[in-house]
Structure 1
Amino acid sequence: MPPSADAKPPEPPAPSAGGVQSLERAFDLLERMADAGGEVGLSELSGSSGLPLPTIHRLMRTLVACGYVRQQPNRRYALGPRLIRLGESSARLLGTWARPALSRLVEESGETANMALLDGDEVVYVAQVPSRHSMRMFTEVGRRVLPHATGVGKALLAHKPAQEVRALLGRTGMPATTERTITTADGFLDALEDVRASGYATDDNEQEIGVRCIAVSVPDSPTLAAISISGPAGRVTEAATDKLVPLLHEVARDLSATLAATGTT
């Protein structure tokens, strides 16, 4: 639907007290690019940010020169390779800070605990503390998966606008990893409604048969983050869920406070 004649363009972000406006605007553009899937045109950035095209063009030229953005052959702009190093270092630190919280989850639940982030269109696991059981779940730190078949993916996407979720699923596709995997956008959006209603997400044999996972998002995290408990479906049962969800929420709040204290927010 076209905008009405009375519609106003979005206001550009106001500079914070003591901040450098050009830096704040540049980082705002990088975040908008990430939200859009990593590649955008100047007119899209202007429409979403409220900044004039000449200002965006000047900022993007600087980001391209520094390697944080690259210009594609089709003249659109994409996130650049120098961001990878920053992201990997940040993810390692975040994982280090999360380990005490994950260790508490393992101690009180007996199951493997994970922390994951949304990185572009994928979920990346940044920390894990394994269960002490001989039969346990193991996910390599650094592993990337598509969000539609994971509990952490649902927790990470639950509060994003439906159109953003549909666009992400359109870019990634929804391949089935088991017969329980959700493979339609409508089905996944219905699942996200359940997450918002219940306050937690599940992966019930959707990523791997015999494995069940319960996940919650970390409130006020500097980047979208979720923590989870995963284990054999015979141990991570519906009955166990009633006890594990309050524990997950409590640990997520404590982890949020830890991240705030480290100055990452």
Structure 2
Amino acid sequence: MKEDVRNADSRTSDGPRDSQKVQVIERAFGLLETLVSFRGSATAGELKEATGLAGPTVHRLLHTLVGLGMVHQLPDRRYALGANLVPLGEGATRQLGGLAVPQMQSLVRELGESVNMAAMESEMVVYIAQAPSPHSMRMFTEVGRRVYLHSTGVGKAMLSTMEPKRVREVLASTGMPAMTPKTLTKPEALVEQLPVIAAQGYAIDDEEQELGVRCLAVPIPKGPTRMGLSVSGPTARMDDAFIRHAVPLMSRTAGEIGRMFSRR
């Protein structure tokens, strides 16, 4: 492996900026991304076939990644993502939320209600940024709070971007506990809503997470993971007229945030 790094550096040290890449690092991250695509675990042979890398290269990379805790070898000798990736991913997600705060604050000025940004982590919604409403009666969601996908507008918006089979897998994994009497608790009832949500481009949590609170949400396109933008407030202020006014503004802001992330 040391030889690979040395050769890559010597080949590219005098070249243009785009060629100054360390091949072994590209291969290691490519292997991790491939492992993610297996949604669980994979054998070294499966990873070799999927990446097109030589068998010895795959084994050297896996050995190093296991030593770093980035990959874990299971008792059946298959490989899965390691625990040391979790804090890296969570830290990166929180930083992405901070980058979007200016756009979120602009949306608060236009709508007057609290704006939240969330991402999907471990089949749950985690809030990664908030811009609070100027109203004395406003919704506050702590950054870092984790909630269920099925009971939140932003969770439904994320689910609407997924295949129905994957949605059912997620719901079976997390369960669908009732947060309020209005929470949907049957998978099929929610799955039936998702094509409508996808077609209209937004989702609503109508007192399904908290009584007296309505949440309007849109997915963020082109994000590095499934992400969404939501606006929440008391049901009395979040009426149909507000929703008609807010959706185009939210979609515009979500698009701006997605384009910002895709350029990084």
Q: 1:175 is paired with a residue of what secondary structure?
A: coil
Cα displacement string for residues 123-173 of structure 1 (whole angstroms, at most 9, x for unaligned residues): 111100111111111111011112111111111221212111111112111
Cα displacement string for residues 9-60 of structure 1 (whole angstroms, at most 9, x for unaligned residues): xxxxxxxx856666445434434544565x3242895599375894655543
Cα displacement string for residues 72-130 of structure 1 (whole angstroms, at most 9, x for unaligned residues): 34544332222123223312321221100110111111111001111131111110011
| Distance in 1 (alpha carbons) for counterparts of 2:41 and 2:223 | 25
Q: TM-score, normalised by structure 1?
A: 0.81
The correspondence of residues 213-232 of structure 1 with structure 2, limited to 5 A, is 213-232=215-234
Tell me which residue corresponds to 2:5: none
* Cα gap change, 1:181 to 1:27, in 2 (>3 Å): farther
| Distance in 1 (alpha carbons) for counterparts of 2:192 and 2:60 | 42
Of 212, 237, 244, the match for 2:246 = 244
Q: 1:243 is paired with a residue of what secondary structure?
A: helix
Q: In 1, are the aligned partners of 2:115 and 2:230 still within 8 Å (CA)?
A: yes
| Distance in 1 (alpha carbons) for counterparts of 2:38 and 2:204 | 26
Q: In 1, are the aligned partners of 2:48 and 2:58 still within 8 Å (CA)?
A: no
Tell me which residue corresponds to 2:72: 70
Tell me which residue corresponds to 2:43: 42
Q: In 2, are the aligned partners of 1:113 and 1:230 still within 8 Å (CA)?
A: yes
Of 196, 205, 208, the match for 1:206 = 208
Unaligned runs of 5+ in 2: 1-17
Structure showing greater radius of gyration is 2
Q: In 2, are the aligned partners of 1:29 and 1:45 still within 8 Å (CA)?
A: no
Q: In 1, are the aligned partners of 2:124 and 2:149 still within 8 Å (CA)?
A: yes
Q: 2:128 is paired with a residue of what secondary structure?
A: strand
Tell me which residue corresponds to 2:159: 157
Q: In 2, are the aligned partners of 1:216 and 1:227 still within 8 Å (CA)?
A: yes
Q: TM-score, normalised by structure 2?
A: 0.81
Unaligned runs of 5+ in 1: 1-16
Q: In 1, are the aligned partners of 2:44 and 2:79 still within 8 Å (CA)?
A: no
| Distance in 1 (alpha carbons) for counterparts of 2:26 and 2:195 | 34
Tell me which residue corresponds to 2:113: 111
* Cα gap change, 1:153 to 1:56, in 2 (>3 Å): farther
State the identity as a percent.
45
